[in-house]
Amino acid sequence: MTALRRRPLLAGAAASLALPGIARAQARPVTIVVAYPAGGDTDAIARIYAERLAPRLGRPVVVENRSGASGAVGSIWVARQAPDGDTLMLAPSTFPIVPHVLRAAAYDPVRDFSPIILTGTSPMLLVASRQSGIRTLADILAQAQAGRLQEYGSPGSGSPMHMLGEMLNRATGMRLNEVAYRGVAPVINDILGGQIAIGYVTPGAVMQHLRANTMTPVATSEAARTPLLPEVPTFAEAGYRDMDVTAWWGLYGPPGMQPAVVQTLNRHMNEVIRLPEVEDRIRALAIVTGGGTPERLTEVTRTDYERFGRLVREMNVRVE
């Protein structure tokens, strides 16, 4: 991986996170970067947390969208910022996979960032348009074999949804092509409009459409059925037991953040995550709230980086 240029640590970073008294009115904002377009679940989650984090820090907290290259554009930008706590990033589990898939993603998700906290987890969901007539995995196989189904949508190359699509290809012998979008929202729009028949998303992004019966849930990605969608079968139930994949979101900073800064942010975020109104809003997105130590996020990041690195090599998945 190409080494990223790093800016020196600014003195007094830990003290700058919370400013007392009159200084609060003049405080610099903390920016949470979302490396995807507005309107997706990562963007929604970031805004929920930003709203509740600001009063704890005594500083404004704003969300900034820097999308492109399956999140690589925003991720690399964050990695090059000063490690003073002013710039953070809320990243989905696409983050440790993309460097294995895209040459443009020249970062190491473990080395080039400071993990702060795992904010939540969710299964992933294969959905179909109502126009397609697809209701089950068997329908997908039948249409693929008949040549009527040739592609699937994902929120971006290198996303866990992209990996699920390729894993199902490998498990079934299908050769469906990925249509890579810039986030979950445009995948949903094209499925609703019938431009694509199937796509991989996170449940929270489509709950309103499932309730309105304008989109069909086909299968979820975790080993057991999720209580969020108890009526939807898993890939494992159809015999595809190697497709147990969990989506997650984590808060990171640039590399080299002082431990005191990381711990301050971690403490405040644990408080925010446990707020009943935050839990309710996150649960409405079909996400289980997270929490815990920075080390927990480090381990989750490293585990997925290694697991999907192996899968990318085995399946020869590469996007220029």
Q: How confident is the model at residue 7 (pLDDT cuts 50, 70, 90)?
A: very low
Instruction: Tell me the pLDDT tens digit for each residue of 50-95.
Output: 999 999 999 999 999 999 888 999 999 999 999 999 999 999 999 9
Instruction: Tell me the pLDDT tens digit for each residue of 149-206.
Output: 999 999 888 889 999 999 999 999 999 999 999 888 899 999 999 999 999 998 888 9
Instruction: Tell me the pLDDT tens digit for each residue of 231-248.
Output: 999 999 999 988 999 999
Alpha carbon of 138 to those of 44, 152, 163: distances in Å?
33, 15, 20
Domains and CATH numbers, the chain: 13-122+247-315 (3.40.190.150), 125-238 (3.40.190.10)
Position 142 pLDDT exceeds 90: yes
Give the lowest-confidence range in 109-113, 171-175, 183-187, 265-269: 183-187
- Cβ atoms of 66 and 76 within 8 Å: the answer is no
Distance separating alpha carbons of residues 115 and 90, to the nearest angstrom: 10
Mean pLDDT calculated for residue range 27-38: 92
Identify the helix (H) or strand (E) that includes residue 51.
Answer: helix 41-57
Mean pLDDT score across all residues of the chain: 90
Pinpoint the alpha helices (H) of 111-235: 137-145, 160-172, 184-193, 207-211
Distance separating alpha carbons of residues 42 and 281, to the nearest angstrom: 13
Put simply, whether the predicted model's pTM sits higher than 0.75 gets the answer yes
Q: In 10 A of CB 30, how many CB atoms?
A: 21
Burial class (CB in 10 A: 0-12, 13-18, 19+), 108: middle
Q: Choose between 320 and 25: higher pLDDT.
A: 320
Q: Choose between 22 and 278: higher pLDDT.
A: 278
Q: What is the DSSP letter of 146?
A: T
Q: How confident is the model at residue 227 (pLDDT cuts 50, 70, 90)?
A: confident
Burial class (CB in 10 A: 0-12, 13-18, 19+), 189: middle
